[in-house]
Copies of this chain bind each other. A is one copy, B any other.
Protein backbone atom coordinates (compact mmCIF):
# COMPACT_ATOMS: atom_id res chain seq x y z
CA UNK A 1 0.00 0.00 0.00
CA UNK A 2 2.69 2.51 0.96
CA UNK A 3 4.69 1.44 -2.12
CA UNK A 4 1.80 2.49 -4.33
CA UNK A 5 1.63 5.82 -2.54
CA UNK A 6 5.33 6.29 -3.22
CA UNK A 7 4.72 5.53 -6.90
CA UNK A 8 2.16 8.34 -7.07
CA UNK A 9 4.29 10.75 -5.04
CA UNK A 10 7.22 10.28 -7.42
CA UNK A 11 5.11 11.21 -10.43
CA UNK A 12 3.22 14.05 -8.75
CA UNK A 13 5.47 15.34 -5.95
CA UNK A 14 3.08 18.14 -5.00
CA UNK A 15 0.28 15.74 -4.11
CA UNK A 16 -0.57 15.22 -0.47
CA UNK A 17 -2.16 12.09 0.96
CA UNK A 18 -4.94 11.07 1.01
CA UNK A 19 -4.77 11.55 -2.76
CA UNK A 20 -7.69 13.49 -4.24
CA UNK A 21 -8.21 13.87 -7.97
CA UNK A 22 -10.77 15.99 -9.80
CA UNK A 23 -12.26 14.07 -12.71
CA UNK A 24 -11.84 15.23 -16.32
CA UNK A 25 -15.49 16.19 -16.77
CA UNK A 26 -16.19 17.22 -20.33
CA UNK A 27 -16.06 21.02 -20.70
CA UNK A 28 -16.89 21.59 -17.02
CA UNK A 29 -13.43 20.66 -15.73
CA UNK A 30 -11.54 23.65 -17.08
CA UNK A 31 -8.01 24.91 -16.39
CA UNK A 32 -8.99 27.10 -13.43
CA UNK A 33 -10.49 24.15 -11.58
CA UNK A 34 -7.67 21.79 -12.51
CA UNK A 35 -4.95 24.17 -11.36
CA UNK A 36 -6.84 24.96 -8.13
CA UNK A 37 -7.08 21.25 -7.30
CA UNK A 38 -3.39 20.65 -7.99
CA UNK A 39 -2.47 23.74 -5.97
CA UNK A 40 -4.42 22.32 -3.06
CA UNK A 41 -2.29 19.17 -3.08
CA UNK A 42 -4.58 17.13 -5.31
CA UNK A 43 -4.38 16.41 -9.00
CA UNK A 44 -6.66 18.37 -11.28
CA UNK A 45 -7.70 17.09 -14.69
CA UNK A 46 -8.92 19.20 -17.57
CA UNK A 47 -11.84 17.49 -19.27
CA UNK A 48 -12.31 16.79 -22.96
CA UNK A 49 -13.53 19.77 -24.94
CA UNK A 50 -16.37 19.99 -27.41
CA UNK A 51 -13.60 19.45 -29.98
CA UNK A 52 -10.13 18.08 -29.28
CA UNK A 53 -8.70 21.43 -30.41
CA UNK A 54 -10.31 23.07 -27.37
CA UNK A 55 -7.90 21.49 -24.92
CA UNK A 56 -5.06 23.46 -26.42
CA UNK A 57 -6.35 26.76 -25.11
CA UNK A 58 -7.22 25.09 -21.80
CA UNK A 59 -3.68 23.77 -21.40
CA UNK A 60 -2.31 27.17 -22.43
CA UNK A 61 -4.40 28.76 -19.72
CA UNK A 62 -3.32 26.18 -17.14
CA UNK A 63 0.28 26.75 -18.10
CA UNK A 64 -0.08 30.52 -17.64
CA UNK A 65 -1.76 30.06 -14.29
CA UNK A 66 1.10 27.85 -13.11
CA UNK A 67 3.75 30.23 -14.42
CA UNK A 68 2.16 33.10 -12.54
CA UNK A 69 2.87 31.35 -9.25
CA UNK A 70 6.07 32.43 -7.48
CA UNK A 71 8.94 29.93 -7.84
CA UNK A 72 10.30 28.59 -4.58
CA UNK A 73 13.92 27.45 -4.40
CA UNK A 74 13.50 25.94 -0.99
CA UNK A 75 10.48 23.80 -1.84
CA UNK A 76 11.26 21.79 -4.97
CA UNK A 77 8.03 19.82 -4.60
CA UNK A 78 5.78 22.84 -5.11
CA UNK A 79 3.54 23.00 -8.11
CA UNK A 80 5.44 25.68 -9.98
CA UNK A 81 8.75 23.81 -9.83
CA UNK A 82 7.67 20.77 -11.84
CA UNK A 83 9.31 19.68 -15.09
CA UNK A 84 5.83 18.79 -16.36
CA UNK A 85 2.60 20.73 -16.44
CA UNK A 86 1.09 19.69 -13.08
CA UNK A 87 -2.42 19.10 -14.34
CA UNK A 88 -3.77 16.17 -16.30
CA UNK A 89 -5.99 16.08 -19.34
CA UNK A 90 -8.80 13.68 -20.22
CA UNK A 91 -9.68 12.22 -23.60
CA UNK A 92 -12.92 10.63 -24.71
CA UNK A 93 -11.28 8.26 -27.16
CA UNK A 94 -14.24 7.50 -29.44
CA UNK A 95 -14.70 11.19 -30.25
CA UNK A 96 -11.30 12.78 -29.71
CA UNK A 97 -8.80 13.21 -32.54
CA UNK A 98 -5.58 11.35 -31.80
CA UNK A 99 -3.35 13.53 -33.96
CA UNK A 100 -4.63 16.74 -32.42
CA UNK A 101 -4.28 15.22 -28.96
CA UNK A 102 -0.69 14.18 -29.62
CA UNK A 103 0.40 17.56 -30.92
CA UNK A 104 -1.18 19.26 -27.91
CA UNK A 105 0.41 16.86 -25.46
CA UNK A 106 3.78 17.31 -27.17
CA UNK A 107 3.49 21.05 -26.73
CA UNK A 108 2.24 21.22 -23.13
CA UNK A 109 3.56 18.01 -21.51
CA UNK A 110 0.72 17.54 -19.01
CA UNK A 111 1.63 15.24 -16.15
CA UNK A 112 -1.14 12.77 -16.97
CA UNK A 113 -3.48 11.74 -19.77
CA UNK A 114 -6.72 10.02 -18.76
CA UNK A 115 -8.06 7.73 -21.46
CA UNK A 116 -11.71 6.79 -21.47
CA UNK A 117 -14.41 5.25 -23.68
CA UNK A 118 -12.51 3.81 -26.65
CA UNK A 119 -14.58 2.61 -29.58
CA UNK A 120 -12.33 -0.41 -30.12
CA UNK A 121 -11.50 -1.38 -26.58
CA UNK A 122 -7.97 -2.25 -25.59
CA UNK A 123 -6.65 -1.78 -29.14
CA UNK A 124 -7.44 1.94 -29.01
CA UNK A 125 -6.13 2.25 -25.46
CA UNK A 126 -2.84 0.70 -26.55
CA UNK A 127 -2.53 2.99 -29.58
CA UNK A 128 -3.22 6.14 -27.62
CA UNK A 129 -0.93 5.09 -24.76
CA UNK A 130 1.95 4.29 -27.11
CA UNK A 131 1.60 7.51 -29.08
CA UNK A 132 1.34 9.65 -25.95
CA UNK A 133 4.36 8.03 -24.33
CA UNK A 134 6.38 8.53 -27.47
CA UNK A 135 5.34 12.18 -27.72
CA UNK A 136 5.79 12.97 -24.02
CA UNK A 137 7.57 10.32 -21.96
CA UNK A 138 6.80 12.10 -18.70
CA UNK A 139 3.04 12.11 -19.30
CA UNK A 140 1.60 9.28 -17.23
CA UNK A 141 -1.21 7.16 -18.63
CA UNK A 142 -4.42 6.87 -16.62
CA UNK A 143 -7.01 4.42 -17.89
CA UNK A 144 -10.58 4.34 -16.68
CA UNK A 145 -12.50 1.06 -16.59
CA UNK A 146 -15.76 -0.08 -15.03
CA UNK A 147 -15.97 -3.82 -15.59
CA UNK A 148 -13.98 -6.93 -14.85
CA UNK A 149 -13.91 -7.70 -18.59
CA UNK A 150 -12.03 -4.46 -19.21
CA UNK A 151 -9.63 -5.29 -16.40
CA UNK A 152 -8.84 -8.62 -18.07
CA UNK A 153 -8.36 -6.98 -21.48
CA UNK A 154 -6.07 -4.43 -19.88
CA UNK A 155 -3.86 -7.27 -18.66
CA UNK A 156 -3.62 -8.49 -22.27
CA UNK A 157 -2.75 -5.05 -23.65
CA UNK A 158 0.67 -4.06 -24.91
CA UNK A 159 0.85 -0.80 -22.94
CA UNK A 160 0.55 -1.05 -19.19
CA UNK A 161 -1.15 1.99 -17.67
CA UNK A 162 0.51 3.97 -14.89
CA UNK A 163 -2.75 4.37 -13.01
CA UNK A 164 -6.07 2.56 -13.32
CA UNK A 165 -9.31 4.33 -12.46
CA UNK A 166 -12.15 2.02 -11.44
CA UNK A 167 -15.48 3.75 -11.86
CA UNK A 168 -18.62 2.46 -10.12
CA UNK A 169 -22.22 2.86 -11.23
CA UNK A 170 -22.82 5.78 -8.86
CA UNK A 171 -20.73 8.06 -11.09
CA UNK A 172 -22.32 10.94 -12.92
CA UNK A 173 -22.11 11.47 -16.65
CA UNK A 174 -21.13 8.66 -18.97
CA UNK A 175 -20.01 5.30 -17.63
CA UNK A 176 -20.55 1.65 -18.40
CA UNK A 177 -24.27 1.32 -18.84
CA UNK A 178 -25.69 -2.04 -17.93
CA UNK A 179 -23.23 -4.21 -16.17
CA UNK A 180 -22.01 -1.80 -13.57
CA UNK A 181 -22.53 -1.98 -9.86
CA UNK A 182 -21.21 0.36 -7.23
CA UNK A 183 -17.60 0.30 -6.15
CA UNK A 184 -18.55 -1.44 -2.89
CA UNK A 185 -18.22 -4.86 -4.55
CA UNK A 186 -16.72 -3.82 -7.90
CA UNK A 187 -13.55 -2.29 -6.52
CA UNK A 188 -12.38 -5.17 -4.28
CA UNK A 189 -13.21 -7.72 -6.99
CA UNK A 190 -11.22 -5.62 -9.49
CA UNK A 191 -8.33 -5.26 -7.04
CA UNK A 192 -8.06 -9.04 -6.81
CA UNK A 193 -7.78 -9.22 -10.60
CA UNK A 194 -5.56 -6.21 -11.44
CA UNK A 195 -1.75 -6.20 -11.17
CA UNK A 196 -0.77 -5.30 -7.61
CA UNK A 197 1.95 -2.85 -8.64
CA UNK A 198 -0.37 -0.39 -10.43
CA UNK A 199 -2.11 2.24 -8.28
CA UNK A 200 -5.89 2.15 -8.57
CA UNK A 201 -8.02 5.24 -8.05
CA UNK A 202 -11.69 4.83 -7.20
CA UNK A 203 -14.39 6.93 -8.85
CA UNK A 204 -18.15 7.07 -8.54
CA UNK A 205 -20.21 8.09 -5.54
CA UNK A 206 -17.42 9.76 -3.59
CA UNK A 207 -18.19 13.28 -2.42
CA UNK A 208 -16.91 13.55 1.13
CA UNK A 209 -14.41 12.12 3.57
CA UNK A 210 -16.64 9.17 4.41
CA UNK A 211 -16.77 7.90 0.84
CA UNK A 212 -13.10 8.66 0.30
CA UNK A 213 -12.08 6.75 3.43
CA UNK A 214 -14.33 3.87 2.37
CA UNK A 215 -12.73 3.73 -1.08
CA UNK A 216 -9.26 3.62 0.44
CA UNK A 217 -10.36 0.75 2.68
CA UNK A 218 -11.67 -1.07 -0.39
CA UNK A 219 -8.15 -0.93 -1.80
CA UNK A 220 -7.82 2.33 -3.70
CA UNK A 221 -4.58 4.32 -3.57
CA UNK A 222 -6.55 7.52 -4.08
CA UNK A 223 -9.97 8.79 -5.01
CA UNK A 224 -11.54 10.70 -7.85
CA UNK A 225 -14.41 13.11 -7.33
CA UNK A 226 -16.48 14.53 -10.16
CA UNK A 227 -19.87 15.76 -9.02
CA UNK A 228 -18.37 17.28 -5.86
CA UNK A 229 -16.25 19.55 -8.09
CA UNK A 230 -19.27 20.58 -10.17
CA UNK A 231 -20.12 22.51 -7.02
CA UNK A 232 -16.67 24.11 -6.89
CA UNK A 233 -16.34 27.86 -7.35
CA UNK A 234 -13.89 27.20 -10.19
CA UNK A 235 -16.05 24.77 -12.19
CA UNK A 236 -16.89 25.83 -15.75
CA UNK A 237 -20.60 25.33 -15.26
CA UNK A 238 -23.80 27.32 -15.69
CA UNK A 239 -25.11 28.75 -12.40
CA UNK A 240 -28.48 27.02 -12.90
CA UNK A 241 -26.79 23.64 -13.34
CA UNK A 242 -24.59 24.21 -10.31
CA UNK A 243 -27.55 25.28 -8.17
CA UNK A 244 -29.29 22.02 -9.06
CA UNK A 245 -26.26 20.00 -7.95
CA UNK A 246 -26.46 21.72 -4.57
CA UNK A 247 -30.25 21.45 -4.31
CA UNK A 248 -30.84 17.86 -5.37
CA UNK A 249 -30.84 15.05 -2.82
CA UNK A 250 -31.83 11.39 -2.53
CA UNK A 251 -29.37 10.31 -5.20
CA UNK A 252 -30.71 6.75 -5.44
CA UNK A 253 -34.12 8.04 -6.52
CA UNK A 254 -33.49 11.43 -8.10
CA UNK A 255 -30.74 10.31 -10.49
CA UNK A 256 -30.90 7.66 -13.17
CA UNK A 257 -29.02 6.35 -16.18
CA UNK A 258 -30.79 7.27 -19.40
CA UNK A 259 -29.93 8.10 -23.00
CA UNK A 260 -32.87 10.52 -23.23
CA UNK A 261 -30.88 13.68 -22.61
CA UNK A 262 -28.24 12.72 -25.16
CA UNK A 263 -31.04 12.43 -27.70
CA UNK A 264 -32.53 15.76 -26.63
CA UNK A 265 -29.14 17.43 -26.95
CA UNK A 266 -28.37 15.77 -30.26
CA UNK A 267 -25.36 13.94 -28.80
CA UNK A 268 -24.64 10.94 -30.99
CA UNK A 269 -21.82 8.45 -31.32
CA UNK A 270 -21.26 7.11 -27.82
CA UNK A 271 -20.30 3.42 -27.90
CA UNK A 272 -23.33 1.45 -26.79
CA UNK A 273 -21.66 0.20 -23.61
CA UNK A 274 -21.99 3.69 -22.12
CA UNK A 275 -24.82 5.74 -20.72
CA UNK A 276 -24.90 8.81 -18.51
CA UNK A 277 -26.26 9.27 -15.00
CA UNK A 278 -28.31 12.43 -14.70
CA UNK A 279 -30.58 14.20 -12.26
CA UNK A 280 -34.21 13.51 -13.19
CA UNK A 281 -36.31 16.49 -14.27
CA UNK A 282 -39.43 17.12 -16.35
CA UNK A 283 -37.99 15.80 -19.61
CA UNK A 284 -37.44 12.37 -18.08
CA UNK A 285 -40.65 12.31 -16.04
CA UNK A 286 -42.78 13.18 -19.08
CA UNK A 287 -40.81 10.74 -21.24
CA UNK A 288 -41.65 8.01 -18.72
CA UNK A 289 -45.28 9.11 -18.84
CA UNK A 290 -45.29 8.58 -22.59
CA UNK A 291 -45.05 12.12 -23.98
CA UNK A 292 -43.80 11.99 -27.59
CA UNK A 293 -40.14 12.74 -28.16
CA UNK A 294 -40.82 15.55 -30.63
CA UNK A 295 -42.74 17.48 -27.99
CA UNK A 296 -40.05 16.87 -25.40
CA UNK A 297 -37.40 18.02 -27.86
CA UNK A 298 -39.28 21.23 -28.57
CA UNK A 299 -39.73 21.98 -24.87
CA UNK A 300 -36.09 21.10 -24.24
CA UNK A 301 -34.91 23.53 -26.89
CA UNK A 302 -37.11 26.25 -25.42
CA UNK A 303 -35.62 25.52 -21.99
CA UNK A 304 -32.17 25.91 -23.53
CA UNK A 305 -33.04 29.46 -24.47
CA UNK A 306 -34.27 30.11 -20.94
CA UNK A 307 -30.73 29.60 -19.64
CA UNK A 308 -30.33 28.93 -15.93
CA UNK A 309 -34.05 28.37 -15.44
CA UNK A 310 -33.69 25.31 -17.69
CA UNK A 311 -32.26 23.31 -14.80
CA UNK A 312 -33.97 22.25 -11.60
CA UNK A 313 -36.94 20.00 -10.85
CA UNK A 314 -39.13 22.04 -13.20
CA UNK A 315 -36.36 22.21 -15.80
CA UNK A 316 -35.75 20.13 -18.88
CA UNK A 317 -32.02 20.31 -19.54
CA UNK A 318 -29.48 17.52 -19.12
CA UNK A 319 -28.07 17.63 -15.61
CA UNK A 320 -25.40 14.95 -15.65
CA UNK A 321 -24.42 14.19 -12.05
CA UNK A 322 -23.59 11.28 -9.80
CA UNK A 323 -25.60 9.54 -7.12
CA UNK A 324 -23.64 11.43 -4.45
CA UNK A 325 -25.61 14.65 -5.06
CA UNK A 326 -27.34 14.20 -1.70
CA UNK A 327 -23.99 14.69 0.03
CA UNK A 328 -23.28 18.06 -1.62
CA UNK A 329 -24.94 21.00 0.05
CA UNK A 330 -22.92 24.06 -0.90
CA UNK A 331 -20.53 25.54 -3.42
CA UNK A 332 -16.99 25.70 -2.08
CA UNK A 333 -13.67 26.59 -3.61
CA UNK A 334 -11.63 23.65 -4.83
CA UNK A 335 -8.93 24.10 -2.22
CA UNK A 336 -11.46 23.85 0.59
CA UNK A 337 -13.04 20.78 -0.99
CA UNK A 338 -9.69 19.01 -1.24
CA UNK A 339 -8.52 19.95 2.22
CA UNK A 340 -11.76 19.21 4.02
CA UNK A 341 -12.07 15.79 2.40
CA UNK A 342 -8.45 14.99 3.27
CA UNK A 343 -8.99 16.01 6.89
CA UNK A 344 -12.25 14.08 7.08
CA UNK A 345 -10.59 10.93 5.74
CA UNK A 346 -7.84 10.93 8.34
CA UNK A 347 -10.25 11.86 11.11
CA UNK A 348 -12.67 9.14 10.15
CA UNK A 349 -10.04 6.44 9.82
CA UNK A 350 -8.70 7.38 13.20
CA UNK A 351 -12.12 7.50 14.86
CA UNK A 352 -13.30 4.21 13.40
CA UNK A 353 -10.07 2.51 14.35
CA UNK A 354 -10.12 3.84 17.90
CA UNK A 355 -13.79 3.05 18.47
CA UNK A 356 -13.39 -0.50 17.19
CA UNK A 357 -10.08 -1.34 18.82
CA UNK A 358 -10.97 -0.38 22.38
CA UNK A 359 -12.42 -3.39 24.14
Contact = CB atoms under 8 A, between A and B. Distances in A.
Contact of A185 (B219, B326, B356): B326
B185 A170 contact: yes
A327 B251 CA distance: 27
Contacts of A218: 210-211, 214
Nearest to A354: B2
Contact of A357 (B147, B148, B346): B346
A284 to B, nearest CB: 14
Contacts of A130: none
A18 interface: yes
Contacts of A208: 188
Contact size range, A: 35 or more
A237 interface: no
A305 to B, nearest CB: 33
Q: How many copies does the complex hold?
A: 2
Interface string A235-266: 00000000000000111110000000000000
A16 B16 CA distance: 35
B357 A17 contact: yes
A217 B16 CA distance: 20
Interface in A318-359: 322-324, 326-327, 345-346, 348-359
A159 to B, nearest CB: 24
Interface of A: 1-2, 5, 16-18, 147-149, 168-170, 179-186, 188-189, 191-192, 204-208, 210-211, 213-219, 249-253, 322-324, 326-327, 345-346, 348-359
16 contacts: A16-B359, A148-B250, A168-B184, A179-B252, A179-B253, A180-B252, A181-B205, A182-B182, A185-B211, A185-B322, A189-B250, A210-B219, A213-B217, A214-B218, A216-B352, A353-B353
The 3 closest A-B pairs by CB, nearest first: A182-B182, A214-B214, A213-B217
